[in-house]
Amino acid sequence: MLTWIAILILAALSTVAFLVGRRKALASAGGSSAKMHSLPGYYGTYVALWVGVPAALLLFVSIMLGGRLEHGLLTATEPPVLQQLSSEQKELFFEDAQALAEGRQLSEAIYEPDVKLALEAKANEARVYSNAFRQGTFALMGVLVLAGFLWTFPRLNKDFRARNRVEGWVDGLLLACSIVAVITTLGIILSLVWESLRFFSSVPPADFLLGTHWSPQIGMRDDQVGSSGGFGALPLFAGTFLVMLIAMCVAGPVGLFSAIYLSEYAGPKARAVFKPLLEILAGVPTVVYGFFAALTVGPIFRQAFNSLGGLFLGGPLNELGLYLGQVQNQMALVAGFVMGIMLIPFVSSLSDDIINSVPQALRDGSYAMGATKSETVKKVVLPAALPGIAGAFLLAISRAVGETMIVTMAAGLQAKLTLNPLETVTTVTVQIVTLLTGDQEFDSPKTLAAFGLGLTLFAVTLVLNIVALRIVQKYREQYD
């Protein structure tokens, strides 16, 4: 509540600073903005920024760090009664103390009377800390506001280069945003690497990358923690690869050919119909593709294979017939096929862009040589676009490898080392999902295995993306 009031006050002060600053600058030019270095608004903005931003930053930092700091102070001294508690109970105790101080809901823990007393004492302590902290923050904010004002306001006159100073602020703001983006990404990567290292300290990387036996659920039992036999991820990589391959067999040709049709053959009318349709396809949530795969495509494929198997029964291919007869709904083929459909718009719109960026002069050159349209497409446009199209395919592959929902719903869960598209397979992403859904302790090898998988996946897609973007970019430069 107080924080909100502080924010409101700060906003009001900034507004005042803006008005005052503008007024002073205008006055120094005798009321004529033509004589001033910058537009009057810039002078106001300059003062307002110095008055508002540092204090706002301080407030933000104090909100972010305040809880931590208080917690640290609070736990620095432990009341003697806590000695009877386990470390988890202690943690709960301190959390409850803070909750009590802030008037939040307590946990359901039941405390002995003496502990309860200590709890109240700690809560009082917490109140003292947070009051002091808050007052300190507000005081410091006040100082910053005043300093900002005194730093800027006296310097204002008509020749002051307020416009350039404000430009500097804009610069800084943009830089700050991009730094936030970079740091967040770095943080994610670091935590991924960190947790993976923990995982790899109990499971050797070679066993993980090359092992063929995947059954992480077993490793969860205490007597088997770290048993490396269960963490051979090769079947997952194989499954991922198989599904990706099938997806690309669908998305590659269909996406590319539709791109060729759209960019080279389709008239404006056909384009006006097809382009938006493909964009709609690109906007379908993957979970919808997922149940489309599980509920529609899966059964259709199973029935088709089952009845195909029926034809072979009793013949020389009896074995094959029997095999086809027991094919399930969930198989790599279904997941790959539907994923391929999902990727069609992706491949086709990227390829379309690339084909369109092949200069018209090349087509004209070919037509002028007496080539037909398809000769021109085949011999000039496609070869010219090939590097870019390869890049587009790599991007699509990286999407296919990272795609989760469709495979979760349609590929199956069994980790089998197979390249048979009719088998159920499981993929890296599916395993991450199954490892982390439900109640988990956060440091069993089982959950850590998810980080190992995540890191592998990240590394693969990162390399794919970098290579792909390089290719596409290089290709773009060629025909700028």
Which residues bind to another protein, rule: CB under 8 A?
267-268, 359, 361-372, 375, 379-380, 383-384, 478
- Choose among 176, 180, 155, 178: nearest CA to 165: 155
Minimum CB separation from another protein for residue 370, in Å? 4
Alpha helices per DSSP H over 357-444? 360-368, 373-376, 382-402, 405-410, 428-436
State which residue, 364 or 443, has the beta carbon closest to another protein. Answer: 364
Q: How far is the CB of 368 from another protein (least distance, A)?
A: 4
CA dist 392 and 389 (Å) reads: 5
For the bound state, the minimum distance from the C-beta of residue 363 to another protein, rounded and expressed in Å, comes to 8
Inter-CA distances, 460 with 107, 183, 413, 453, 475, Å: 43, 21, 22, 11, 23
Choice between 72 and 365, CB closer to another protein? 365
**Tokens matching residue 253:** 């040709």
Q: Which is nearer to another protein, 226 or 383 (CB)?
A: 383
Q: Which is nearer to another protein, 224 or 372 (CB)?
A: 372
Distance CA(348)–CA(341), nearest Å, equals 11
Q: Dihedral of the CA atoms 143, 146, 147, 149 (nearest 10)?
A: 160
| Least distance from another protein to the Cβ atom of residue 268, Å | 8
Q: What are the helix (H) ranges across 153-233?
A: 162-202, 205-210, 216-219
Residue 113 or 268: the one with the smaller Cβ distance to another protein is 268
- Structure tokens belonging to residue 258: 């539709």
Residue with smaller CB distance to another protein, 267 or 285: 267
- Of the candidates 255, 248, 328, 294, the one whose C-alpha atom is nearest the C-alpha of residue 405 is 294
CA distance 375 to 356: 17
What is the signed CA dihedral for 226, 230, 235, 237, rounded to 10 degrees? -10
Which token pair is 250? Answer: 């669908």
What's the closest the beta carbon of residue 470 comes to another protein, in angstroms?
18
CB of 411 to another protein, least distance (A): 40
Nearer residue to another protein within complex by CB, 274 or 291? 274
Closer residue to another protein, CB minimum distance, 45 or 366: 366
Task: Provide the residue type at 307 as one letter.
Answer: S
By beta-carbon proximity to another protein, the closer residue of 353 and 375 is 375
Task: Note whether 344 and 281 are within 8 A (CB).
Answer: yes
Least distance in angstroms from the C-beta of 371 to another protein: 5
The number of CA neighbours under 13 Å toward the Cβ of 364 is 3
Report the SS3 class of residue 85: coil
- Least separation in angstroms between CB 432 and another protein: 42
- Cβ 474 to another protein, closest distance in Å? 13
* Residue 366 or 429 with smaller CB distance to another protein: 366
**CB closer to another protein out of 207 and 375:** 375
Single out the residue of 24, 64, 73 nearest to residue 44, CA to CA: 24
Contacts 24+ apart (CB under 8 A), 301-306: 301/327, 301/329, 301/331, 301/333, 301/334, 301/337, 302/327, 302/328, 302/329, 302/331, 305/422
Type of residue at 59: L
Q: How far is CA 456 from CA 31, 49, 91, 400, in A?
A: 66, 45, 35, 15
Least distance (Å) between residue 259 CB and another protein:
19
Residue 390 C-beta: closest distance to another protein, Å: 14
Tokens of 15: 């507004």
